[in-house]
């Protein structure tokens, strides 16, 4: 099963994608996580991506598409995957569609996690991310067992630089300009499924499962 997660930054794509990946035993692929891992390792790619990410801008399509196509060509993707944060532009969606079509393949579902802008800034300022394993928490809604410490690996939790309110507003604007058109794109493909992302994490997941089967 090949799934694309859509939704504003902070809608809960990553939270749900990780749960979907566990349930269906498929890899969770987040382009944001790949960029952050490169930033942490100090690679040339990381350095370039950081200059865009810190301003809340999108990393250019050429760079992002190459990384994603390399990743989905790996063996662990043979039975499918859940993409989180890709595609974020129509050209990215078209490249992905064409690459899959060459293999006689396609995306099965685009799951749109719907959360209004009013909720997003609050969500993002409460998000805490693990610097080591990428797990995400929320100080109110999804708290770790011990404040500031990752349940999964014990490393420190941080507020991402790009989750500060001024950057979040930029990211939301870019979302509406460049990413939201993907809702029409996948509606036209006949595979868009929208779920209410404002309810409890477990309820969102149950609703997604009832769609995916």
Under the rule (CB under 6 A), what is the footprint of ligand AMP?
9, 30-32, 35, 52-53, 56-59, 64, 85-88, 92, 162, 171
DSSP bridge pairs for 136: 129
Catalytic entry in 13, 50, 71, 128: 13
* Site for ligand ADP contains 204 (CB under 6 A): yes
* Site for ligand ADP contains 141 (CB under 6 A): yes
* Site for ligand ADP contains 13 (CB under 6 A): yes
Catalytic entry in 18, 160, 164, 193: 160
* Site for ligand ADP contains 27 (CB under 6 A): no
The verdict on whether 88 is a catalytic residue reads yes
Residue of minimal CB distance from ligand AMP?
Answer: 32
Catalytic entry in 36, 50, 88, 128: 88
* Site for ligand ADP contains 28 (CB under 6 A): no
The verdict on whether 123 is a catalytic residue reads no
Q: Is the dihedral of CA 28, 29, 31, 33 positive or negative?
A: positive
Q: In terms of Cα–Cα distance, which of 32, 31, 41 is closest to 65?
A: 31
- Looking at beta carbons only, is 40 or 106 nearer to ligand ADP? 40
The verdict on whether 152 is a catalytic residue reads no
* Site for ligand ADP contains 164 (CB under 6 A): no
* Site for ligand ADP contains 59 (CB under 6 A): no
User: How many chain residues bind ligand ADP (CB under 6 A)?
Assistant: 20
- Looking at beta carbons only, is 54 or 206 nearer to ligand AMP? 54
The verdict on whether 36 is a catalytic residue reads no
**Can you spell out the DSSP letters for the chain?**
-EEEEE-STTSSHHHHHHHHHHHHT--EEEHHHHHHHHHHHT-HHHHHHHHHHTTTPPPPHHHHHHHHHHHHTSGGGTT-EEEES---SHHHHHHHHHHHHHTT----EEEEEE--HHHHHHHHHHEEEETTT--EEETTTB--SSTTB-TTT--BEE--GGGSHHHHHHHHHHIIIIITHHHHHHHHTT-EEEEE-SS-HHHHHHHHHHHH-
Which of the listed partners (ligand ADP, ligand AMP, none) does 12 bind, with a CB threshold of 5 to 8 Å by partner kind?
A: ligand ADP
Active site residues: 13, 88, 127, 160, 171
């Amino acid at each position: 099963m090949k799934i694309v997660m859509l939704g504003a930054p902070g809608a809960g794509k990553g939270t749900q994608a990780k749960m979907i990946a566990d349930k269906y035993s498929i890899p969770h692929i987040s382009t944001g996580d790949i960029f952050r891992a490169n930033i942490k390792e100090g690679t040339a790619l990381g350095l370039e991506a950081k200059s865009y990410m810190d301003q809340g801008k999108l990393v250019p399509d050429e760079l992002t598409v190459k990384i994603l196509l390399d990743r989905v060509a790996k063996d662990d993707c043979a039975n499918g995957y859940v993409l989180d944060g890709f595609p974020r532009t129509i050209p990215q969606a078209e490249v992905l569609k064409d690459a899959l079509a060459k293999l006689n393949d396609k995306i099965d579902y685009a799951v749109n996690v719907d959360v209004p802008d009013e909720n997003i800034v609050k969500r993002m300022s409460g998000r805490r991310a693990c610097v080591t394993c990428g797990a995400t928490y929320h100080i109110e809604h999804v708290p770790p067992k011990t404040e500031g410490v990752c349940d999964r690996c014990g490393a420190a939790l941080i507020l991402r630089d790009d989750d500060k309110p001024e950057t979040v507003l930029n990211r939301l604007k870019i979302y509406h300009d460049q990413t939201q058109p993907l809702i029409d794109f996948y509606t036209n493909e006949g595979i868009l499924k929208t779920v209410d992302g404002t309810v409890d994490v477990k309820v969102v997941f149950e609703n997604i499962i009832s769609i995916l089967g």
